[in-house]
Amino acid sequence: MRLWSDSWPNGEPIPERYAAGRLTGEGVGFSDNVNPHLAWRALPPDTRSLALICHDFDVPSRGDDVNQPDREVPADLPRVDFFHWVLVDLPPTLAQISEGEFSRGFTARGKPGPASLHGARQGVNDYTGWFAGDAEMAGSYFGYDGPFPPFNDSLVHHYVFTLYALAVPRLELDGSFTGAQVRQAMAPHVLGSATHSGTYTLNRRLRQTT
């Protein structure tokens, strides 16, 4: 089983157009937030559906220092997962996702869901929790919303797209669901998986040295 992208080479920096956030002259702002191209082949026999998860495993476990201009988030701070895309029930006959097919631009209060293209369903990503206390941005963020790491993080963030081949045509999930719920629901049904990854930072100091 293999997963690849024409949007950037595996493991290399993610171009700005696929991110939710970018540097501006005065600070940071929203970027193009275009979902990347992804393609796959050599699925295991008996694959009946596909699931796709994109997560960042470098997210600070505490927000005390996040986006504070007078200091950086310490590199030794414990990190947690942040889900950027949760997509299930893709048909096994599908061989790729086109660039921009699921997302073009960042939508305040979130894109609709869970129903999506190709008969699939999209879960809520973790911007749902991030914006929960913001009166202008709060909502259910379904589908793809790309990287927007803290501008003062001392770590470059890593983003992993994982495609799972499943032995069931539909996961037993109702209504809105999260990345953690998908991981739990699909665990007994995984026949194989493949990954494609990239990195991204909004720390000006790190961008000057990479």
Candidates 164, 167, 124, 163; CA nearest to 145 is 124
| Strand-pair category, 79-90 with 96-97 | unpaired
* Confidence band, pLDDT 50/70/90 cuts, at residue 166: very high
Q: Mind spelling out the 3-state secondary structure of 45-103?
A: CCCCEEEEEEEEEEEECCCCCCCCCCCCECCCCCEEEEEEEEEEEECCCCCEECCCCCC
Place of tokens 């796709």: 52
Parse the chain into domains and list their residue ranges.
Answer: 2-209
Q: Quote the percentage of the chain above a pLDDT of 90.
A: 96
Give the CATH architecture of domain 2-209. Answer: Alpha-Beta Complex (3.90)
User: What tokens does 171 get?
Assistant: 């996961």
What's the rounded Cα separation, in Å, for the pair 119 and 89?
7
pLDDT surpassing 90 at residue 26? no
Give tens-digit pLDDT for 64-90: 899 999 999 999 999 999 999 999 999
Give tens-digit pLDDT for 88-128: 999 999 999 999 999 999 999 999 999 999 999 999 999 99
pLDDT surpassing 60 at residue 167? yes
Count of CB atoms situated within 10 Å of the CB of 138: 16
Q: Is the dihedral of CA 197, 108, 61, 175 positive or negative?
A: negative
As a whole number of Å, the CA-based R_g of the chain is 17
